[in-house]
Amino acid sequence: MEIKNPELKEIIAGENIDQLGDFLDNLKVNDINSDLISEICSIMQLENKGFRNLITQFFISNRFETLPACIVNYISSKDITLRNLSGEILLQYDKLSIDALTDFIRKSDNDFDIKFAADILAMIIDEKSENALFELLSRTKNDNIIISCIEGFGNNKTVKAFENLKNLYHHKEIFKPYVIEALGKFGTREAFEFITECYNDMDMLVKYNVLESLGNIGNEDSFFFLIGELQNADESFVQPILESIYKLQLKYGFDLPYDEKIKRALLILLNQREVEHIKIAIKFLSPYNDPELIYEMLRHYGIDEEVDMIIYNKILQHVSEMIEIMPKIILSNPQNLAHLMSLLNQLLENNPESLTGINKFFMHKLIDAISRCLSHTEEMVRLYSVELLFKLDIETALIMLDEEFLNANFWIKLRLIEILETINHKSAIDFLVKMSEDENEMIRQRAIEVLNIKNFSFN
């Protein structure tokens, strides 16, 4: 590595990162020649992270036509960091890197290096990269390099590679999932027909790949094929089928028909661990008013803001149905009980009129379930149970708040005083008097303030 630029020589000798930053900032891009680019590029071979980061950002922030030819050779470096940085820059330079990558592949006899270069080439969408991949495919015997070519044909939607991909599918088992994924990106009638034929393959992984790819093909035939498979799908296939149906729904506005088999599938997806799968299930379920579905949706409230918003908007239209379901949910003590109590509290606060049409029997069940939460181990559940009881039935709430509860957590007692401040009832006064004698000074003072506001005098 020979550096002729005197300023760069001084910077390298002193390993001064700040000076290199100033040097690069002060360069006028139009005045930079290929020799200087080569010198700056060669500095990346130094094991100085600061230098490498600055130069990488400098190259990525600009476009120098001669750079790919300089940096492509670092693909062969034993320094993994340098190799990866060169790959990152070449990928960022996109079409400007194609010739350099193609020349490198032609000259190299190292399959590992060729695979690395082919992976970058496969991600560049251009006819020149397609031609380079065809050339590479014609002369390589390495399975990993062939896979890079397959992926490149898929990314480029290289329809003229259709026959090559079909042959590769039948040539080796290892190629099957990659061929299916690539053809899924084509979106053509031929690709759809071939992929659906592959669904008869006994390999479960191939079936899984087919279901995922049909979501990328995106036509009416693939939608109805997936609906048909969903009707009797094994649980392990429900998730990829519904994910693909969801992609098609977003793309084309196809409606998911609803029956007991579809409902079963949606409930299976709803009980997956991944939040993204739960989101898809919730979005599919939102149009339906089935009490069982609403119950299952509520069990996931609190896991994600987007999910919460969908559920809230759904419940907002069916507050009475939720109130009827809530006693059963509360008594099952779900992990998200505090979130559900918060949701119910929020709904009643914003829609107090929704209580007027509730059957007395269901109201009694709800009050009973909430009152049991006064002794819950989770503080937030206890706090919400107090607030909800006062919203639902003041008389019952005042009866439930016994001496034992008055020894509750500080924050609960403070919130209770705020609630009692809004209530004109003799029992409310009695509670405030008791709390004016509390062992905590702040509780005592706050209770006395409220009593004074209520113009109640006492010794």
Phi/psi for 33 (5° steps) reads -95, 175
| Assigned token pair, 244 | 């693909």
Residue 412 inside a domain? The answer is: yes
More confident residue, 166 or 414: 166
Mean pLDDT of the chain: 88
**Average pLDDT rounded to a whole number, residues 352-358:** 71
Residue 152 inside a domain? The answer is: no
Residue 281 inside a domain? The answer is: no
Angle at 54 between CA 48 and CA 57, to 5 degrees: 135
Same domain, 358 and 383: yes
pLDDT number for residue 73: 94
Residue 1 has pLDDT above 60, yes or no: no
Residue 294 inside a domain? The answer is: no
Residue 239 inside a domain? The answer is: no
Same domain, 391 and 433: no
**Average pLDDT rounded to a whole number, residues 34-47:** 90
Residue 455 inside a domain? The answer is: yes
pLDDT number for residue 162: 96
pTM: predicted TM-score of the whole model, two decimal places: 0.72
**Host H or E run for residue 412:** helix 410-421
Lowest-confidence segment of 90-104, 111-125, 297-311 by average pLDDT: 297-311
Rounded alpha-carbon distances, angstroms, from residue 433 to 428, 439, 458: 9, 13, 9
Residue 79 has pLDDT above 90, yes or no: yes
Residue 426 inside a domain? The answer is: yes
- Residue ending a domain, among 398, 414, 429, is 398
pLDDT number for residue 357: 67
Same domain, 389 and 417: no
d(CA 437, CA 446): 11
- Indicate the number of domains in the chain: 2
Q: CA torsion sign, 45 to 50 to 51 to 56?
A: positive
- Residue ending a domain, among 347, 364, 398, is 398
pLDDT number for residue 459: 41
Structural domain of residue 422, as residue ranges? 401-459
Same domain, 415 and 365: no
d(CA 222, CA 22): 57
Q: Tell me which range, 106-115, 243-252, 281-290, 428-437, is most confidently predicted by mean pLDDT.
A: 106-115
**Host H or E run for residue 65:** none
Residue 458 has pLDDT above 60, yes or no: no
d(CA 5, CA 174): 51
pLDDT digits (tens, 9 = 90+) for 256-314: 888 888 889 989 998 888 889 999 999 888 888 888 888 888 889 998 899 899 888 88
Contact 280, 291 (CB under 8 A): no
**Average pLDDT rounded to a whole number, residues 174-180:** 94
CA 82 to chain centre: 31
| Assigned token pair, 241 | 């089928």
Same domain, 379 and 405: no
Same domain, 415 and 393: no
Query: What's the pLDDT band for 457 if we cut at 50, 70, 90?
Result: very low
